[in-house]
Amino acid sequence: MIVAAHHAQTLAYTHHPALHPSHDPPATLRFDYANPQHTVDQLRALQVCITGIIAGSELGVELADQLSELLGLPGNGTALTDARREKFLMGETLREYSKRLSEATGQPPIRSVKQHRTEFFDAEDTQRFLQDFFSSSASEQRMIVKPARSSGSDDVYLCTSPEEVKEKMNFILGRPNKLGIMNTCVLLQEYLEGDEYVVDTVSKDGVHKLAGCWRYLKGEANGAKFVYHGMVIVDGASETGRQVFEYTKHVLDALNIRNGCGHAEVMLSPTKGPCLVEIGARLHGGEGIFINVARRCVGYSQVEAAAAFLGTDREFETLPQVWKLKPGCFGAAIDLISYREGVLAGLSKEAVIEAMQMPAFISFNCMPKVGDSIMKTVDCFTTVGSISIALTPSRILGPDSEEASTASAAAREGIMRTIQQIRDIERRLFVLEGDDAAHDPKKCIPSVTAISLDEVRSYRASNNDGARYCDRESEPELKLADCSRPLHPTSVQSE
C-alpha cells in the first residue's frame, strides 16, 4: 500500500501498481497533529503492508516527512523539512553544502542564487543588500521579488530599482498566497538568465535516477511576465539533460532528499551554467499533463518511476539511469491561457474538433466547468486547461540511424508548429456568457466528450493538407477530455 500526503492534513491511501490503477478514488483520513500516534495507529490498523509515503503536492511535503519518520519507512527525515519547503533556506542550505563540497574536493563551488529574505523594506540588512545589488554591474540590476513560501509564479515580480522592490513588497506582505499561506516575508533574488528546465527524479537510499526532463515555455500574458505557456520534452541523454541532472543530484544531496520523488526547476545560463530556482520533494504536479507525453516519447513517466521506488529493490535497480527519448519522438504539454474574464458557457465545437484532429493530439484537459468564472491567466493557478501532444514514428527506428535522426528532427519541427496552432486555437476555444455562440448547440458544447470520433475523422478528412509529420499511434483519447472533471495523475489511462 502507498500513502500519499496531498495536503498539510489529508492522507490518501491506495494500492500499487503505478500508484493507482483503478479510477475509484483512494480512501482518505486526516492527520492528527495533536496526537500523531493516533494516525499511525489508524494506518497500522488497516493490517496491510505500507510500502512507502509520497508527497502528492507541495503542501504534503512536511506531512510526508513526518509520517514516514513515525512509521519507520524510507524517507528524508524531518531535520531539513523546512529547507525543503522554504525557498530562502533551500538556497542557503545548497550554498553551505557547496562550500563544504568545494573545500573537500577542490572543485569550484556549485552555483546558488544571490538572495535575501526580509519582512521590512527599511530593515538595515535589507537596505544594505539592495545597495550592494543595484550598485553592481548593469547586467545584474534586475531583481526578482516573490513570497518566501509559494509556487506557480504566484506574485513573482521583476524589479529594476529599489523603489519597485518597495512597491511589490508592500503588495505581497500581509496577503495570503495561492497556497493559502499568509505572506509574512518576501524573498529578494537575482534575476537568473537562461532557459528554465524541469528535472524530475526518483531516489532510493541516496541513489538518484532521472525520471523526467522538460524545458519550460514561459512568457508574458495579460501584463504578467512569468506565465506558464507549457513545456517541451528534453532528452535526458542530451548534453543539456546530463548537465541539469548532474547539478540536480547535488541539490538532492544538499537537501537530504534520499528517498522518493524530486521536482526541481533549474535555470541554465549559457555562460554561468545551472542554478537552482527551487525544488519540491514531491511528484511533478501540473494535473498530470506530462504523463502521457512521457509515456509516448520515453516509455514511462515519473509516476511509473515512483512505483518502482515503492516496489522492491529489484524494481528500482532495473529502472533506467537515463531518461532517454525513443528515436523519432518528441512532445510537449501546453498550458492554455485565458485572455478574457467571464462565466464559462462552454467550448467552441469547431475549435475542439480542430485541436483533436491535429496529428500530434493526445488529450485535452479543461480546468473550469460550465458555469464557473474564469480569470485572465497570470500564473499557473489561473491556467484554464492544457493540451498534450506528441509525435512518434510509425515503426521502431534504430537509435543511431540516419533515418532516426531525420525523424527526430521532423517530430521536433512538427511539435513546434503544433504549438503555434494551439496558441491560435486557445483564443477561440472558450465561449463565455454573452458571446454570440453561447447556448447554440451547433457552436458551443459543454465538454469535449460531446464530440464523436466520426466528427473528428470528418473534419480531418475535409481539412487534410498532408502535413502529417509522423503517424499517430491511436485515435484521440476522448475519455480524457471531460470538461467537467480535471485530469489528475491517478486518472490518466494507460495506452
Rounded to whole angstroms, the Cα distance separating 294 from 305 reads 11
Q: How many Cβ atoms from other residues are within 10 Å of residue 191's Cβ? A: 16
Please give the average per-residue pLDDT across 54-66, as a whole number.
Answer: 87
Amino acid at position 94, single letter: L
Strands 10-14 and 115-118: unpaired
Q: What pLDDT, on the 0 to 100 scale, is given for residue 456? A: 62
Least confident range of 25-34, 237-246, 278-287: 25-34
Please give the average per-residue pLDDT across 196-211, as a whole number.
Answer: 97
Q: What pLDDT, on the 0 to 100 scale, is given for residue 153? A: 67
Distinct helix (H) and strand (E) counts, the chain? 13, 20
233 burial level (CB within 10 Å; 0-12, 13-18, 19+): buried
Q: What pLDDT, on the 0 to 100 scale, is given for residue 172? A: 93
User: Can you read off the three cell numbers belonging to residue 422?
Assistant: 494551439
Contact 80, 61 (CB under 8 A): no
pLDDT per position as a tens digit, 73-89? 999 999 999 999 888 99
pLDDT at 98 over 70: yes
Domains of the chain: 2-73 (no CATH), 114-190 (3.30.1490.20), 195-491 (3.30.470.20)
| Helix, strand and coil in the chain, % to nearest 5 | 35, 25, 40
Please give the average per-residue pLDDT across 437-456, as a whole number.
Answer: 76
pLDDT at 453 over 60: no
pLDDT band at 24 (very low <50, low <70, confident <90, very high): low
Query: At 288, is the secondary structure helix, strand, or coil?
Result: helix
Rounded to whole angstroms, the Cα distance separating 478 from 456 reads 10
Contact 332, 229 (CB under 8 A): no
Strands 52-55 and 2-5: parallel
Amino acid at position 24, single letter: D
Q: How many Cβ atoms from other residues are within 10 Å of residue 224's Cβ? A: 17
Beta bridge partner(s), residue 145:
157, 188
User: Can you read off the three cell numbers belonging to residue 367?
Assistant: 480546468
Report the alpha-carbon angle 444-448-453, nearest 5.
Answer: 110
Rounded to whole angstroms, the Cα distance separating 240 from 273 reads 10
Q: What pLDDT, on the 0 to 100 scale, is given for residue 362? A: 92
pLDDT per position as a tens digit, 423-440? 999 999 999 999 999 989
**Sign of the CA dihedral with 444 first, then 447, 448, and 453 last:** negative
Q: What pLDDT, on the 0 to 100 scale, is given for residue 413? A: 95
Please give the average per-residue pLDDT across 17-42, as a whole number.
Answer: 69
Mean per-residue pLDDT of the chain: 84
Q: What pLDDT, on the 0 to 100 scale, is given for residue 3? A: 53
